[in-house]
Amino acid sequence: MKGKVKFLIGCLVVLAAVAVASPGMALNIVVFLLSFAAAGGAALFVHELGHVLGAFITGRKVIKFSLGPVTLSVPQKKLIFSWKNFYYVGNVLVDVADFRDEASYERNNKKQSVIFILGPVMSLVTGILALTLLKSSFDYLVVTLFGILSLAMGLGTLIFSDGRLAKTISDPYESLYYYWNILFTIPNVKEESLKFLLLKSETYLFDKYIGNKKGITEKFTDLFVLYYAKYFSQVIGRDRINAIDFMPFLMDALSSETGNRHNKMIISHILCEEAMGWSMAGRQEEAESLYAFVQEHGVTEPITRLKVESVLKRSVELGREYAAQRRALVQNNVFDYYEEKWLKERGLPGFK
């Protein structure tokens, strides 16, 4: 937030200096910036409408529609303004259909591909229309900018984000990363789908890494799958995910001076969950030792450290503070539901 304010102040200072030196140039700059902002906002809105259209075609419910700091919560019929959850571009959160077997899982993947791809398609179509039919009748700067930005957004997202996601989601194993993320982000709990996802994740991780446990430390998406598989296993009291012991390799990767920061962050989260599990199982010294290792070598956020310390220390004060910080995020998602449920069932303070 402070960085955004500094950037805005810097822009205003530069604009003021230009206005003093050349008032005419300053006016042109202001007109261009306002036109660019209007065209950019419209292009983003139309792009996200493409995803909404995809949801309508595939029979999915739109949960949230976000542009910048403004979010429309569809189930609540409420507009939320929050700089904490600021989107520099846009975002549409769409519900996921229930799946309990391979057939329903594959159907879900195909529908999700349609939702992903219709964003870029909408941008490309409206961009072409703006630069041809619309521009011939309304030859304004904002129309030209809208057309150019829409085409750029359509091509960019087709190549680097939405198009890539549409291709990824068609792979039954590469899509695990997406579904773990989305099923913990939506507000409604789909436990049967999560259980199927856990079984599929176990099969995938075992088949891929049984002969190369170290390999998982090099792929962020698979580390992400391992994290949520371990987390959900703890929630439902299932232990099969621990049949392969990745711990020595995860710790080696974390203590290494080289390595990707994002990978180290998710490894840190995995080890933190492990430390809490050990603590709840009565292995307190091992849990504290593992957490100290993560603190020395890992990458964790303050809220994560607060959670771990509330569990390891059985601290009422820390537990309440962690619960308050989670609620302050105003996520109202499945992760918060399971987080509170898991801690309550184990009699931890701050969540009663």
Domain that holds residue 155: 42-169
Task: State the pLDDT at residue 56.
Answer: 96
Task: State the pLDDT at residue 1.
Answer: 47
Q: Are residues 211 and 330 in the same domain?
A: yes
Q: Are residues 143 and 196 in the same domain?
A: no
Task: State the pLDDT at residue 206.
Answer: 95
- Asked if 50 and 120 touch (Cβ cutoff 8 Å), the reply is yes
Helix (H), strand (E) at residue 71: strand 70-73
Q: Are residues 336 and 214 in the same domain?
A: yes
Q: Are residues 220 and 95 in the same domain?
A: no
Pairwise CA distance, residues 204 & 202, whole Å: 5
Residue type, 292: A
Task: State the pLDDT at residue 239.
Answer: 87
Pairwise CA distance, residues 195 & 252, whole Å: 30
Q: Are residues 292 and 152 in the same domain?
A: no
Task: State the pLDDT at residue 346.
Answer: 66
**pTM of the complete model:** 0.84
Neighbours of 40 (CB within 10 A): 16
Instruction: Note whether residue 32 is domain-resident.
Output: no
Q: Are residues 136 and 99 in the same domain?
A: yes
Task: State the pLDDT at residue 115.
Answer: 96
Instruction: Note whether residue 223 is domain-resident.
Output: yes
Q: Are residues 215 and 160 in the same domain?
A: no
Q: Are residues 159 and 276 in the same domain?
A: no
Instruction: Note whether residue 4 is domain-resident.
Output: no
Domain boundary among 169, 192, 213: 169
Task: State the pLDDT at residue 111.
Answer: 94
Domain boundary among 128, 153, 169: 169
Is residue 195 classed exposed, middle or buried when 0-12, 13-18 and 19+ CB atoms within 10 A define those classes?
Answer: middle
Domain boundary among 144, 169, 194: 169
Q: Are residues 52 and 137 in the same domain?
A: yes
- List the pLDDT tens digit at each of the 352 positions of the chain: 455 455 445 555 555 554 555 666 666 777 778 888 888 889 999 999 999 999 999 999 999 998 877 888 888 788 877 766 555 578 899 999 899 999 999 999 999 999 999 999 999 999 999 999 877 776 688 889 999 999 999 999 999 999 999 999 988 888 999 999 999 988 889 999 999 999 999 999 999 999 999 999 999 999 999 999 999 998 888 889 988 899 999 999 999 988 889 999 999 999 999 999 899 889 999 999 999 999 999 999 999 999 999 899 988 788 888 888 888 776 678 888 888 887 777 666 544 4
Task: State the pLDDT at residue 69.
Answer: 79
Query: Which residue in this structure is represented by tokens 């402070």?
Result: 2
Number of domains in the chain: 2
Pairwise CA distance, residues 257 & 98, whole Å: 43
- Asked if 119 and 62 touch (Cβ cutoff 8 Å), the reply is no
DSSP string covering 208-228, please?
HHTT-GGGGGG-HHHHHHHHH
Q: Are residues 66 and 163 in the same domain?
A: yes
Instruction: Note whether residue 285 is domain-resident.
Output: yes
Instruction: Note whether residue 3 is domain-resident.
Output: no
Q: Are residues 65 and 189 in the same domain?
A: no
Q: Are residues 107 and 252 in the same domain?
A: no
